[in-house]
Amino acid sequence: MKKNSRYILYTFYFKLWIMKKKLGLHKLLDMKFPSPVSVQWIAELINAELTGNKDGIATGINEIHKVEEGDLVFVDHPKYYDKCVNSAASFIIINKPVDVPAGKALLVVDQPFEAYQTIVRHFRPFTPADKPVSSLAQVGEGSYIYPNAFIGNNVSIGKNCIIHPNVVILEHCVIGDNVYIQAGTVIGSDAFYYNTKKEKDVWYKKMLSCGRVVIENDVEIGAGCTIDRGVSHDTVIGRGTKIDNLVHIGHDTVIGKNCLFAAQVGIAGATTIGDGVVLWGQVGVSKTLTIGANAIIYAQSGVAASLEGGKVYFGSPVEPASVKMKELVWVRRIPEIWEKVKNL
């Protein structure tokens, strides 16, 4: 590719990124680079052999279940080669050469996981905070931060927010307008996400989290909640959602608008929850599933698989509440029925 053509591509992608940022679309994207970079530069950074489209432009890095065109993704197990190569990702960091579709590129390295870590460290280096409210944070008009709260580097807080004592909002997180966060809540803790290799004494290698938490307008979060940042995508809390005390939300989870979560709800990573969903106390939700809009799940239920919206559920694993209630009635009658059977 000629220099002027490459310059035009760089300029186009950079302007596209700026446009998305102005429109707020960046809030729902993976870890985008500050500006697009050539795949050749990435190959040099991680010392990779580059095959396929050597003139490509990478716009960000992402996980396989969240990838978009322009993304980098890594894979280090043959079981997932086809899935990664045929995903929306344009660039695949891999530990073995394979056939690649036209327009995509492979970056072949011995340790794809370590290559991913190198990229994250480069674009999201650790920067110590030197004060309770970072000078790199932005706090909107009318917002109040109580003493003993911590606001990290590059955090954005909108207008008319209330941040209570001992709240922690870690780097790069985005808080909208009219957000209310009660005492002791942690926003943007690292994902519970490890590469399992079981090599010698090291079984679990921490995967660095370069995603964010994005909390939209009019959200209320209770005391003692924990919301993990995305691994490379964003964890998103939709506008108007209300969250009770002691709720945990895992990495990369996307929660819709106007949801209601009661105390001690736990949601695993990469889950999608539609608008208007109600989770009553101590509901547990497994990873990488979808709960449809306006579903209601009664207390102490366990969600192991995706659920259709607009229905009421109960039990562990959950079933439609009307079915589960009938089952419970019959379970209670088992001793009575058994006595009758014995006397036949």
Backbone angles phi, psi at 63, to 5 degrees: -85, 160
State which H helix or E strand residue 321 sits in.
Answer: helix 321-332
- Cα separation of 48 and 114, whole Å? 12
- b/e sequence 47-85, b meaning 16+ C-beta within 10 Å: ebebbbbeebbbbbbbbbebbbebbbbbbbeeeebeebb
| Angle formed at CA 17 by CA 14 and CA 18, multiple of 5 degrees | 90
Burial class (CB in 10 A: 0-12, 13-18, 19+), 278: middle
CB-based contacts of 152, cutoff 8 Å, min separation 6: 129, 134, 137, 168, 169, 170, 171, 172, 173, 188
Contact between residue 153 and residue 136 where contact means Cβ atoms under 8 Å apart: yes
Report the amino acid identity of residue 133: V
**DSSP output for 18-36:** HHHHHHTGGGGS-EEEEEE
Backbone angles phi, psi at 190, to 5 degrees: -65, 150
CA of 176: how far to CAs of 50, 107, 133, in Å? Answer: 41, 38, 17
Active site residues: 251
